[in-house]
A and B are shown apart, each in its own frame.
Chain A
């Protein structure tokens, strides 16, 4: 078991390292990195000063080392718009994004799982078709479009909810629904098919033959087994949620990391963009690691230390 954790952690670290190296390489490829980091208007003395400071006159391998050293020390470059530390700029936006993302994640779970499980249990009934219809819609509707429609209806026509900014609980509702709906749809579909697979397994028939009643069979035998593949789905959901928040924050003018990313890309604030990418990578890798661990914990068959690729 500990071998599994060690292997996964190692893989996670390697991924982070790999991505950071990629960023380093690409940055150096695009010409003089100082140009990118400082902008075009910097006077030559400033450029020279920073060149020496950052060590861009050093050989490449030394730069590589300094790059990582700087990352460890918390020196992630500067936003040249206002000269502040890039890391600081990003970190101050994180709470808003986490609030939105976490709530939307919970929303999609609370909506998706019951819908999927019930659709499987009452298969081919109206409930089933309705849920799956809803799921397909959620998946097909682009989240920015959902947001726009919701704004049109609830903000502009009905005037019930605000269409942008933060502050009150009411500000949460539209963005959370927008971000969470696509996730709810795909979770519902997956939960349904996972349950359907489980319901036909031999041990369900054993439970039936033992004389257990239906609710107990579903809750105690079907759901715990169906939950296992769903847990692996959650890792992917997180990634989609992060990608989705970029768009949703733009639609609703939510002051989070996503909005910061878009603005930084437009303004070509490379230090900020790099900082965001690094943070997102670390978050994703950690989340996937947690998912892997949860999966191992939930499924006793995995604990024998079968490591490496399973697919």
Chain B
């Protein structure tokens, strides 16, 4: 079953050929085939993106190429890398191939570096494992490498430890380390997923640059169709351990065949949801001049502690029935702003007015009423639920806390809330461990709804979920907002998501709101330089939108 692909400008023999790859993993119910009969080729200088959701088997497939599996996981089939058969080799034989023929970069780069060794030492070790260079030569080489991945002042970076690097910097180091042995193929497993969107854009640009310079083959694993649109020559879509569709990238985007491929593409479309922008009315929340800072950890014994400003003079208004979005990167303070509006934190300066009256303090009588009316859902549904309590009990709990209605009614109300989020009675008695991520987030939403709040803050509501699941949750949130006539504050770093849902958006940078405006206006014509940077960093929606000018701007 040899598939011959004519590569663009390359020899007919593929750089990587995978045939009939099957990976078996141990599971509570015995052995399970997480990857089933997967076959694909990559030619020299070609980029293949494998895209799929969690548990699609894409990472396991990537690990098979250099046989990096943990003991207990076995891979069968054929993997030919530069003509070498990989599976079944001894560790000693594999250590020749790894790094020399192909290298790998992983999702989170700071944990992927040895924490007790200097970064420079690890780089030198990589070089000397495959090339015969003296120590001096290796050191010079590492400086050159770090410069080529865009790290300024490389001499200093050699002496630092992994935990002192930012995510983007660490990823650059990892890429440098992967390329220092001059491989023909680079395998990247979700290399930008853990990074901020602007940093992601930089890293993708870097990869494109390196790929062109060294004629690198690139196997990229992703769950993000935007990244695929930016990077891929060809695409393989994986679902449940199998490749369900494959082809050139333009074809996949223009004429997807498999229903799953279509689902992935649909989740990313900028389809504006049905929502009537409310007329201006009296605002529910009016915040003026909010300031919040945190003291820095003490470094020296008697040093005066400096402060980090998390929120710097922020004004926000949220009206009845309005959906407002706060977009920004990690550490921008957007979550803190949300907490301040809810009253979960007290600002160091500034005021928050609810319905024209000042925010009550926890000791006031109206505090209870506030807590009932203002709810929040957080990012991680997996830890937001007590693993030892049943679903219905957890949804009912807010009613118990506030002693709402008769005890008998509460379970009924909880059931109704679950019904509203699309979960039927079969989940009532289950424990959270039995639910999927999407289901858990629905439970969390139901729990927030049961008190019938007027205002809800959704802090990164779908970041921990697969894209298709996340799209469903967003639809759910939109529907609930319509049905219950709530005001919403959506806090997110995912610009595409925010764009489809909110009426008004505010861009947060370093604790300040640098621009605000009506959604389509702001996204089409951002004015502030940071907004421009942010919006242009978002991966394109279709490969035809790639342009060198756009890349150069970043």
Contact = CB atoms under 8 A, between A and B. Distances in A.
Contact of B112 (A3, A203, A225, A305): A203
Interface in A208-222: 208-214, 220-221
B117 A224 contact: yes
B91 A213 contact: yes
A248 to B, nearest CB: 36
Given A211-B130, A212-B129, A301 B301 contact: no
Contact of B91 (A202, A209, A214): A214
B87 interface: no
Contact of A211 (B70, B98, B113, B299): B98
A225 B116 contact: yes
B112 A206 contact: yes
B547 to A, nearest CB: 34
Nearest to A5: B301
A5 to B, nearest CB: 10
A209 B105 CA distance: 9
A225 B97 CA distance: 26
A298 interface: yes
B125 A210 contact: yes
B126 interface: yes
B181 to A, nearest CB: 7
Interface in A113-138: none
A209 B162 CA distance: 18
Interface in B73-93: 91-92
Contact of B113 (A6, A206, A208, A220): A206
B204 to A, nearest CB: 21
B99 interface: yes
A150 B450 CA distance: 70
Contacts of A208: 68, 98
Contacts of A207: 114
A159 interface: no
A228 interface: yes
A298 B174 CA distance: 23
A119 to B, nearest CB: 15
Interface residues of B, number: 39
A203 B299 contact: no
Nearest to A306: B297
B95 interface: yes
A212 B68 CA distance: 12
A202 B98 contact: no
Contacts of B115: 203, 225, 299-301
Q: Indicate the member of A200, A201, A205 with the most B CB atoms within 10 Å.
A: A205
B299 A304 contact: yes
B301 A2 contact: yes
B95 A212 contact: yes
B298 A211 contact: no
Contacts of A203: 111-115, 162
A200 to B, nearest CB: 7
B303 to A, nearest CB: 9
B300 A298 contact: no
B116 A299 contact: yes
A213 B125 CA distance: 12
Nearest to B130: A211
A306 B97 CA distance: 42
Contacts of B181: 210-211
A211 B100 contact: yes
A211 B97 contact: yes
Interface in B153-204: 161-163, 174, 177-178, 181
Contacts of B161: 300-301
A209 B297 contact: no
B239 interface: no
Nearest to A211: B99
Given A211-B130, A213-B95, A205 B68 contact: yes
A305 B91 contact: no
Contacts of A201: 111
B18 to A, nearest CB: 17
A198 to B, nearest CB: 10
A211 B116 contact: no
B298 A305 contact: yes
Nearest to A303: B161
Contacts of A301: 115, 161, 163
A27 to B, nearest CB: 36
B297 to A, nearest CB: 7
Contacts of A3: 298-301
Contacts of B116: 224-225, 228, 298-300
B106 interface: yes
B106 A206 contact: yes
Q: Indicate the member of B95, B174, B178 with the most A CB atoms within 10 Å.
A: B95
B108 interface: yes
Contacts of B112: 202-203, 205-206
A210 B177 contact: yes
B492 interface: no
B66 interface: yes
A7 B299 CA distance: 12
A221 B114 contact: yes
Nearest to B97: A211
Contact of B99 (A209, A299, A306): A209
Given A208-B98, A211-B97, A211-B99, A225 B177 contact: no
Interface in A4-46: 6-7
B290 to A, nearest CB: 30
A202 B108 CA distance: 9
A3 B300 CA distance: 6
21 contacts: A2-B300, A3-B301, A202-B111, A202-B112, A203-B162, A205-B68, A205-B106, A206-B113, A207-B114, A210-B125, A210-B126, A210-B181, A211-B94, A211-B100, A212-B129, A213-B91, A214-B91, A228-B116, A301-B115, A304-B297, A305-B300
Ranked nearest first, the 7 interchain pairs of A and B with the lowest CB-CB distance are A211-B99, A211-B98, A3-B301, A209-B104, A202-B112, A202-B111, A300-B161
Given A206-B106, A210-B181, A224-B117, 15 more contacts: A3-B300, A6-B301, A205-B112, A206-B113, A208-B68, A209-B99, A210-B125, A211-B129, A228-B116, A299-B115, A299-B116, A300-B115, A304-B297, A305-B297, A305-B299
